[in-house]
Amino acid sequence: MLVATAIVIFMHVPGLALFYGGLVSERNVVSTMMHSFVSLLVVTIVWVLWGYSLSFGGDIAGLIGGLDFLGFNNVGEEAFGTIPHYVFAIFQGAFAAITVAIISGGIAGRIAFPAWILFSILWVTFIYAPMAHWVWGGGWLYKLGELDFAGGTVVHILSGVSALTAAIVIGPRYEHLKKELVPHNIVLFLIGAATLWFGWFAFNAGSALSANGLTSLVFANTQVAAAAGGLGWLVIEWSIRKRPTLVGAATGAIAGLVGITPAAGFVTVLSALVIGLISAPVSYFGIHFIKRRFRYDDTLDAFGVHGIAGIWGAIATGLFATKTVNSAGNNGLFYGNAEQLLHQLIGVGTAVVLATVGTFIILKVIGLFTQLRVSREEELMGLDLSFHEEPAYSTVKDIDIKSEKVSS
């Protein structure tokens, strides 16, 4: 579990940072990576001070954790389930941090950095912590029987829907729909994607909190779903666009990983293959049809991959779950228990509403105290230079703003 915890942090930085950083223009590489890196710093501190306690402290009316672990009070070397309490707490903190970082993909290149820091603090406190408690900390969804092995609702639906909400509230980039966003470095993107895939074994299998047969099942399901998702996307893209792409194949693999996350410990390997395979078309549809239809600017498709595949994965858990592989879980619809599907739909609906309403309120409150997005000039110059004065590449020169201004 020490190794799994370290690997989950590694998938955050450099994994997600490289994945997102490779997709943006060369003007916003540093700022995009900063979102991932700084969220790890900020959320870790919030987690120690109050986030962990609100998530996993003693249950209060099924709604929130108590203050038992405030400031890591009462967290020590003693066993917490199957592992030392310190390890469990930091492992869960790594989950919280990467969930916040995923949201940055929806608003890359335009959110003001001070607003991002405030958002990270407020979002993990008022959105992530309650949902984590409801599902994993003994809250009302846990008592209801909703299944989420490693974060379909808590991590991916929350982050994906929050990214979409933030993208709409903050507004599109000035160049959105006028200039196609082309990844500036596919090599960095692939290294990031491969790091995420590698880290997902710790993310999912580590959630078993032990080394046993269940852990091996989760490990196998994670690999199979990722491969099925990547292959599924490749076939779709090749059929529709007549060109298979590396970005597409890697994106499909990530979609497959998202889809299997909530189901990883509750389904068979063949079911994992189906879940991963279907994750590809649902995410592809979200990115290439829903996004174009409604013209929202989810910069790096955080909603299309994490939100939509997360919703599918949570629902699929209610379809494919079987006690034959995990006696602690419930059977799903395909194994004679329709009620489990209802519980999963309630979990999905709850995550969507909490993420939408909560993110909207948090951003509006932040907007009362500081600007949410950068100015037009700063955005067109790129945040690496305009805010951080730290270009990713020495070849990136200062940009003549006048030549890039777009008429109002």
Which pLDDT score, from 0 to 100, does residue 70 have? Answer: 98
Domain count across the chain: 1
Answer positive or negative: Cα dihedral of 287, 281, 204, 147: positive
190, 250 in Cβ contact below 8 A? yes
291 vs 282: CA distance, rounded Å = 12
Residue 401 pLDDT > 50, yes or no? no
307, 325 in Cβ contact below 8 A? no
User: Has residue 404 been placed in a domain?
Assistant: no
Which pLDDT score, from 0 to 100, does residue 358 have? Answer: 98
User: Has residue 354 been placed in a domain?
Assistant: yes
Interval 304-327 mean pLDDT: 96
Residue 354 pLDDT > 50, yes or no? yes
Interval 31-48 mean pLDDT: 98
User: Has residue 91 been placed in a domain?
Assistant: yes
User: Has residue 408 been placed in a domain?
Assistant: no
Which pLDDT score, from 0 to 100, does residue 329 have? Answer: 83
The partner residues of 373 in beta bridges, in order of sequence, read 111
Interval 267-278 mean pLDDT: 98
Which pLDDT score, from 0 to 100, does residue 397 have? Answer: 56
Angle at 363 (CA atoms; ends 381, 349), nearest 5 degrees: 120
Q: Tell me: the pLDDT tens digits for 369-390?
A: 999 999 999 999 999 999 999 9
Query: What count of other Cβ atoms lies within 10 Å of the Cβ of residue 174?
Result: 16
User: Has residue 401 been placed in a domain?
Assistant: no
Query: In terms of Cα–Cα distance, which of 85, 90, 319, 52 is closest to 202?
Result: 90
Which pLDDT score, from 0 to 100, does residue 406 have? Answer: 43
User: Has residue 242 been placed in a domain?
Assistant: yes
* CA distances, 232 to each of 237, 249, 301 (Å): 9, 8, 18
Q: What is the extent of the structural domain holding 201?
A: 2-396
Query: What count of other Cβ atoms lies within 10 Å of the Cβ of residue 67?
Result: 14
Q: Per mean pLDDT, which range of 107-116, 117-126, 137-146, 284-293 is the poorest? A: 284-293
Query: In terms of Cα–Cα distance, which of 166, 130, 107, 148 is closest to 300?
Result: 107
pLDDT above 90 covers a percentage of the chain that reads 91
137: DSSP letter: S
Q: What is the helix (H) or strand (E) element at residue 397, kind and residue range?
A: none
Residue 177 pLDDT > 80, yes or no? no
User: Has residue 379 been placed in a domain?
Assistant: yes
CA 92 to chain CA centroid, Å, is: 14
Give the CATH number for residue 351.
1.10.3430.10
What pTM does this model have?
A: 0.95
Interval 264-291 mean pLDDT: 96
Which pLDDT score, from 0 to 100, does residue 179 have? Answer: 72
User: Has residue 176 been placed in a domain?
Assistant: yes
Which pLDDT score, from 0 to 100, does residue 326 have? Answer: 82
Q: How confident is the model at residue 405 (pLDDT cuts 50, 70, 90)?
A: very low
Token pair, residue 112, equals: 């003001």
264 vs 242: CA distance, rounded Å = 33
Residue 167 pLDDT > 90, yes or no? yes
Q: How confident is the model at residue 396 (pLDDT cuts 50, 70, 90)?
A: low
Which pLDDT score, from 0 to 100, does residue 56 have? Answer: 98
Interval 2-23 mean pLDDT: 97
Q: Tell me: the pLDDT tens digits for 85-103?
A: 999 999 999 999 999 999 9
Residue 16 pLDDT > 90, yes or no? yes
